[in-house]
Structures are given as C-alpha cells and as structure tokens.
Chains A and B, each alone.
Chain A
C-alpha cells in the first residue's frame, strides 16, 4: 500500500487534533499558553530518520518519555525535551526551584506522568478517530542522544518508518519540546487501511 498525499494530509490532521488535545492538557497543568507547530509526516528509512533527528537535535543529551503502542498498528510515541527544558518543566510542576539539569527519581516520576498524559492524548485521539483500540506499555524515561533512541536498536535497515513530528513552545516558561510518533513497518499498511476506512471517499 502506498503512502499518498491524501494519507499524509489525513495523518497530519489526526496528529494535529491529538497534539491540540495534549496541548490543552499541558496548558491546564502549567497555566501557560502553548504554541504549536504544524506536524510533518514522512516515510523514512532508519538511517534517514536518524539523520533527520540528528539534524534537529545535534548530538545533545535529550530527556525522553516513550510510550509504545500495539494493536492493528504499532510503534512508539516519544515526548522529547532538551535536558534544560525537562528540568525547568519539572520545577514548574513540583514547585521546586530549578536546580541542575540532573533529575532524581521523584522528578523523573513527574516527567513520566506528564509524558504519559500528553502521549495518551495524542494516541488516544488517533485511536478514537480510526476506531482502532491500542494497547500501551508502561511509559519509559530515558536520557539519551538521538543515536541511542530505542527505535534504532535491532532494526532492519530496510525497514520503513512513518514519522510524524511536531514541536511546541511554552514561551513564558522557556520550555520547548518535540513530539515524535514512529509507526513501524508491517503496521503501516494497517494504519493506512484504517485511514482509508475512516475517511473513505473524502481521501
């Protein structure tokens, strides 16, 4: 099944709705306006994906919350913060003064819960729109460079990955972050089929 422009358009809209919902939740949490950017949807090889992400994040250390999902389609949703932004976000949530960018267990717990709520907001919107139930694994926190993202471990170089990527800014609090959805091969057809079924003649 080929990824058409209509699919990309539909996916952009679905991700947009999900990110909008997640931004609403973040706004409630932080009581600050969230600026959103239009999501980009692309089909990439693992190497292309790595280059794409490296061009964005260089080789800097990132704080990530990952939520893996499976069902008719499967993959990983990641909420990615530069380390400083992560520390700042946690200090706003916990009411503690910002300290070092290093996060202790309590702070990681807070960041995990934020990631859980935000990523569930996005994936849940997608699931509800496509009427496809998804099972989630527990969210996981990691500090790593792009090179060490779990998606790149043990992945066949011929695999195709559907990347949906957007970012957000909380200007008042000097926090920025990225939302990256990666759908792995095999599930791609199922995802596109679900989009066709849902949007039918509209595509």
Chain B
C-alpha cells in the first residue's frame, strides 16, 4: 500500500484513477491543479510515495509543476497522465523527470505496472540516496 497524490482537474478522470488505486489498497490525496499539488508538498510538507499529474490544467499545468519539482529537487517518482499524445510533450515531461507519460484513457493494468515501477524507484531512492 502506498500514498499517491493525484493532480487532475477533471472530476471524471480523478474518479477513474481513484477507483483503480483504492481498489488496490492505496491511499489517495487529490489536487485539482499543479498549484494545489505544490501546496500539499510545500505548505503541508507531505510526501506521497508517488505522484500522478495531468498536463493541461487551470492555474498550473503539469509541465510547470514538473519544473518546480525539479527546482525544489523533490525526488518523488512522478507519472504524467494526459490526453496530449504529442511526442514533443512526452519528451519534455521525461526531460523534466517524469518516469513515464501515459495517455488517457489509462488502462488499469498499465497504470498498475507503472505504479509498481514508481514505488520500486521510490524505495531505491530511499536506499541509495546519500544523507538519508
């Protein structure tokens, strides 16, 4: 079981992700845009095991969120889930540290596989990260 921060403006997509992840026993925190997601990390100082983030959102989109994550040196495995299927967008997200970019509608098994990889990544970071 892991704690997963879902950053997604569309209620329909949040609901889909919530159903899949809660059925697998994960705890879900939700934010409706990148700004709310950052508030959880910066103001509330909470650290999820993994982040799922959309790209196109009001106030702060996923790319900007990833940029701030880089600046703040947050090392939380982040999966981008987006309707944007452009190759250029995928490359930009990966350059900004996302571990993968999944296209909507996400298939439950595909999401589970990537969450598993993200959590393994998260565990390795804890083991090998200096000064932790």
**Interface residues in chain A, defined as those with a beta carbon under 8 Å from any beta carbon in chain B:** 21, 25, 28-29, 93-94, 106, 109-110, 112-114, 116-117, 120-121, 124-125, 127-128, 133-134, 136, 138-139
A-B contact pairs, 19 of them (CB 8 A): A25-B105, A28-B107, A29-B105, A93-B12, A94-B12, A109-B10, A109-B12, A110-B11, A110-B12, A113-B12, A117-B83, A120-B85, A121-B85, A124-B84, A128-B85, A133-B89, A134-B86, A136-B56, A138-B57
Interface of B, helix, strand, loop or mixed by DSSP: loop
B83 partner residues in chain A, CB cutoff 8 A: 116-117, 120-121, 124
Considering only residues 97-132 of chain B, those with a C-beta below 8 Å from chain A are 104-105, 107
Closest beta carbon of chain A to B91's beta carbon, Å: 10
Q: Which of B11, B56, B82, B88 contacts A127 (CB 8 A)?
A: B88
In the complex, B44 has a CB within 8 A of chain A: no
A116 partner residues in chain B, CB cutoff 8 A: 10, 56, 83
Contact with A along B57-100 (1 / 0, CB 8 A): 11000000000000000000000001111111100000000000
Closest beta carbon of chain B to A133's beta carbon, Å: 4
Interface size on B, residues (CB 8 A): 18
Closest beta carbon of chain A to B11's beta carbon, Å: 5
Considering only residues 8-29 of chain B, those with a C-beta below 8 Å from chain A are 10-13
Closest beta carbon of chain B to A76's beta carbon, Å: 15
A127 partner residues in chain B, CB cutoff 8 A: 86, 88
Give Cα distance in the complex from A25 to B105, angstroms: 7
Closest beta carbon of chain A to B109's beta carbon, Å: 13
A28 touches B105 (CB 8 A): yes
A25 partner residues in chain B, CB cutoff 8 A: 104-105
Interface contacts beyond A127-B86, A138-B58: sample of 6 additional A-B pairs, CB < 8 Å, sorted by A = A94-B12, A110-B12, A116-B83, A133-B88, A133-B89, A136-B56
B86 touches A109 (CB 8 A): no
**Minimum CB distance partner of B8 in chain A:** A113
B57 partner residues in chain A, CB cutoff 8 A: 138
B87 partner residues in chain A, CB cutoff 8 A: 128
B82 partner residues in chain A, CB cutoff 8 A: 120
A134 partner residues in chain B, CB cutoff 8 A: 86
B84 touches A136 (CB 8 A): yes
Give Cα distance in the complex from A176 to B81, angstroms: 28
B13 touches A113 (CB 8 A): yes
Give Cα distance in the complex from A124 to B104, angstroms: 12
Q: Which 7 pairs from chain A and chain B are nearest by CB?
A: A124-B85, A120-B83, A113-B10, A133-B88, A117-B83, A113-B12, A110-B12
